[in-house]
Amino acid sequence: MQTYHNTVRGKQTEANEHQEICNPATGITLGLAPINSELDVDLAVDAARQAQKAWASTSDQERREAVARVAQVLEENSGYLAGLITQEQGKPLSGPGSRFEMQACVGWTQVPSALELPPEVVYEDDKRKDVLYRFPLGVVAAIAPWNWPLMIAIWQIIPAIRMGNTVVLKPSEYTPIATLEMVRLISQVLPPGVLNTVSGDGRIGAALTSHPDIDKIMFTGSESTGRRIVEASSQNLAPITLELGGNDAAIIMPGTETSAIVEDLFWGAFLNAGQTCACIKRLYVHENDYDSVVAALSDFACQVPIGDGMDESNLIGPLQNTMQHNKVKELIADARANGCDVIEFGDIPETGYFLPLTLVGNIRDGHRLVDEEQFGPALPIIRYRSLDEAIGSANRLSAALGASVWANSLEEAELVASKLEAGTVWINQHGAIHPMVPFGGNKASGYGVEFGIEGLKAVTQPRVISIKK
């Protein structure tokens, strides 16, 4: 059985404890992942601290070239890493699965390597000149989730090192192996200490985010953990970028041509078996269109194969872990017990954390499956009578990461979109993120943005140099 390692100062490190990581589709052990101690956190942060000044002193062009080399390494090893993602996280190789995740890793590395963030003259007259510069913050603590373990880690790592910071990354304890292997590979083209890892459960995450030598925290995960990270940051006053998931609402406007949107609608809800922060979690449909939308989604769901993602014919994999599997089953059972219509599709394997694709009708606001983020392949479909009613329902929850509007008329859709409370509102698409477009949540879905120029600014500290002429 293979044992995997953390990377600190550019070298593989040994751990005193390990945990078995199993394939959620088969239960077969993939390998042993390290479990670190608080002392290991100190050593990783110290390595990042010692490397940071030298890294920040390199030219902007040198850092851009280094990040471009990272993109090349990711591309060259995408097949190997995609296989690890599928065996560890569960998403299939095919379709919008692990190969898709690796393509995103490459793209979200190439774009920051091409971006420029030059000094900005913010004011000038005949007496003075004020120039805004952007300097690195220092050492960034990055906490990555288990649903898109490599892609979201890249979102955290690349802007940070591009702008002269160094990073200590903690992958999720559910999916550490592929991330540790990715860091091992890309660290070979970075100076030692620029990128380091620690691994373990929430105890290690807490030790990292509260560490006195951390200058910035980036976290993607649950609201409850995010609140604990905010409390931990009082120890170091580090600024935080929080992406805390969502309970995204989608509104189909009355009379919308269903056949034109059904495929994008389906994948907007069931991407990665619904284990995506910006997935459709609540679908609002006008009462006159309800039957046709349910029928169209049912017809599409019947054709989507479910199973072990290493079989390239499958497009939907398992839930990643027993906790999530049980949670989604519980929410579906609650809906069924309260008289909702539960329609299931797909033959699922007997082993693994699989659930059928599930549409839940005759359901209303207030049911648990509507009000709680399910993070799984179960979509509640809620009837509405007026657009004002649908907008009010969409906005009633504290989660506000994304939302979408589906319509024949873009002009009418934009009017509805302007009334939805979410970090991003998509029209005739959902979850369509882009490396140049800022992405972040509102309300309880977190604060701060990632991607593009705004994402680079988020990992820097502004400094004004004011000159008297």
- Nearest alpha-carbon partner for 261 in 121, 442, 430, 379: 430
Run of H or E residues at 33: strand 29-35
37: which 2 tokens?
């101690």
List, as one string, the DSSP characters of 95-151. Answer: SSSHHHHHHHHHHHHHHHHH-----EEEEE-SSEEEEEEEEE-SEEEEE--SSSHHH
**Cβ–Cβ contacts within 10 Å for residue 18, how many?**
17
Helix axes 149-162, 60-76, angle to 10 degrees: 160
Contact 196, 165 (CB under 8 A): no
List, as one string, the DSSP characters of 303-340. Answer: T--BS-TTSTT--B---SSHHHHHHHHHHHHHHHHTT-
Given 243, 373, 421, 450, which residue is catalytic? 243
- Give CA–CA dist 158/115, Å, rounded: 12
Phi and psi (nearest 5°) for 427? -120, 125
Contact 317, 100 (CB under 8 A): no
- Give CA–CA dist 297/383, Å, rounded: 15
Known catalytic residue at 231: no
- Give CA–CA dist 63/82, Å, rounded: 26
- Point out the residues that are catalytic: 243
